[in-house]
Amino acid sequence: MLSVSASTSINTGALTIAGGLGVSGDMYGRSATFDVVQVINFIAPNSQGASLAWNRDGGSGVAGIRNQRGTGIGGFEFLNYDNSNTLLNVSMTLTESGNLSVTGSISKASGTFDIQHPLSENVKDRLIHSFIEGPKCDLIYRGKCNLVNGTCVINLDIVSNMTIGTFTSLCQNTDFYLQNNSGFDSVRGNINGNILTINCSNINSSDIISWLVIGERKDKFIKAWDRTDPNGRLIPEYTRM
């Protein structure tokens, strides 16, 4: 058994314990290392700070990481440091409003969006849609255009609110699909760089054409991913180690 007097300063004191330690009050320190941490009762900090707890209310067994933002913006950051205590990167950020930003990739068994149903005022009424997935790292661009004298020229960067040159820097193996929505005249097209040109068999046509362009990613980030080959092509099958 070990008895230690209380301290409210992180600048004094040192303690090494080979066995277990029970603390009924507050504990202060610059750093601490534990093999196992078990916190039974949760008491939130009353000012800026964070706490870890195991909430056993009702036998739920739910673990909680709670941040008291005080007058700050709140949220969580997951940081990676090297042996010299130099920050390497912020691998993940979770904002107060629940927005999650990950610098790497995300792998999952399944996924959906889950929102309050747009036709209901009850937050408990939910709507989900599953993600659209496939064996390629595809990007989708779509829109509509009005033919003028049987022709329409579409700058894929401009219609997508992107800087000129983004589409060609991002996409390879492009393909497109066209549909005449207001007439029976046939249409065909071609892509040259970031320009999609649509031509109609009727040179006087002013029909409305729906277009869909699909491109496979080729940026340096997709090529550096360990799930793609050097050209950025997804490797859809692997053996788990």
The domain spans of the chain are 138-223
Q: What pLDDT digit, counting tens, does each position of 27-78 carry?
A: 666 566 555 555 555 455 556 777 776 665 666 777 777 788 888 888 888 8
> What are the pLDDT digits (tens) for 134-178?
999 999 999 999 999 999 999 999 999 999 999 999 999 999 999
Q: Please state, in angstroms and rounded to a whole number, the distance separating the CA atoms of residues 117 and 94.
A: 24
Work out whether strand 49-55 and strand 62-68 pair parallel, antiparallel, or are unpaired.
antiparallel
Determine the pLDDT at residue 15.
60
Write down the residue that tokens 């990481």 correspond to: 65
pLDDT digits (tens, 9 = 90+) for 91-135: 999 998 889 999 888 888 889 999 999 999 999 999 999 988 999
The pTM for the full model equals: 0.73
Instruction: Tabulate helix, strand, coil % of the chain (nearest 5).
Output: 5, 35, 55
